Structure 1
Amino acid sequence: MKLVKVDATSSTNSYLKDYVKLNSIKAPCCLVADNQISGRGQRGTAWQSQAGKNLTFSVYLPGLEDIHKQTFKLSALVALALVKTLEKYNTPKLSIKWPNDILSRQFKIGGILIENMFNQNRAGASVIGIGLNVNQDEFPGLPKASSLKSITRSAFDLEILLKDLLVEIENIPIKFNTSSYHDVLELYYSHLFKYNKVGMYQYPDGSLIQGLLRGVDNYGRLIVEFEEDRIDSFDIKEIQIKY
């Protein structure tokens, strides 16, 4: 996979999308930044990362068939690729917090932001932004955040870790085009935080409710069961898992 390195950028996703268009890139390509100034996360949140300590990168993946119909399938495969790689480093108690935050011991160590691209024939490609807390020691004001170094008590070689991650990510198009949504979802469930467990959920207005996480539907919406057997589905901005 072609690797492009920059010292700093406001957003690796934005930079890579422009790079792909300007250079007519047709094959997988990765852009990694030593410092991402204005990284974005799900729900429009900012991704905070200390320069030179973590991995902030984006990957352009073409060749995704009918991506416009299977956006969550891709999201699940990316999260699973990160988990599979981090398991090789003996990262403890890994889980995926819906939709695609990566947790270790219930601390957030990584996040994913996917932006899909279509042409007139609906052939698909995606730009996958990944932020992974690696060697950062402190996260002021973020009690639920941590890093691989803090959790494993070992420093990581960023270049080697990136190489291992890209090996898994580069295999995603094949899995996306050949695996059924059901099979991907079953594997996703095996790592899903709070799956089939009771927990607290927060609505956008701040109110809390207790529910049982039942899974994810075909559109990637979270399925939660409440009292009196009431079951609802929620998009990303409609509910938040509290932990």
Structure 2
Amino acid sequence: MLKLKNYFFHLVAGTLMVLFGAGIFQAILLEMLKEYDSASKLAYVCGLIACAGIILYGVYELMQAFNYERRILKSLEPGERHEFVSELSDGVELSIPGQVVMTRHYLLVPARNMSFVHVFAKNRMIGCFQADVHKEEAATEAQIVIYDTDFKSVNVDIRGNGSSDAAGRLYSKICTGMPWIFHEDYDSFLAQIRRSGYRRKLIKQMTDARIRYESGYDSESEAEEELEAMTQDVRERLNPESLLKRFSSKKSK
């Protein structure tokens, strides 16, 4: 659906621009051939240049219509493009019809409006925030903000009935699958990324959190184990037999 909308939009826009520019260009040339006015030379030149610009823009729109895949996949490496396309047929984890597709390693989302999309490689995402957490369930538009490791943001606009619920499901799916990315305190995240020195710290924090998660490290369990070990050590030291042994050892010395 996104591809069809993109194709139709750019094809119509490009065709209209080319026809409009060519029509005016032809009219100016006929005017120059029939009734050339030397005093209007500058006007003729400016008109021809403007028409050429309109025609070139129309050609650009036509190229956009036929280069959809290349344009939306330009942020991916050649190998990643092949992997993403293969995962679209076998590996889709979440789909919001006509808007969002999440595969095992990639996320395709609408950006700015429904004519533009952006593809994220999940391993290059650093933040995901739900901007409209207080929006009513009946809302027809909701927004999620996603940041990559270059700290470039994309505002993901989810539209249509049930958009708030759909955005919530997408946000939950991203955060559940990648709990190491920043996703809770948006204001704090924004305050830190405005300082260049803090950006490196954020990337390191995310990397460390991912390593701990993938290695199965649990900070709470680790703390409980340390506390239990300390408790056991204290119990052994306070044990009467242990106290007697230490006292006897000191007395013999």
TM-score range, shorter chain: under 0.3
Q: Which has the larger radius of gyration?
A: 2
TM-score (normalizing by structure 2): 0.25
Q: What TM-score do the two structures reach when normalised by structure 1?
A: 0.25
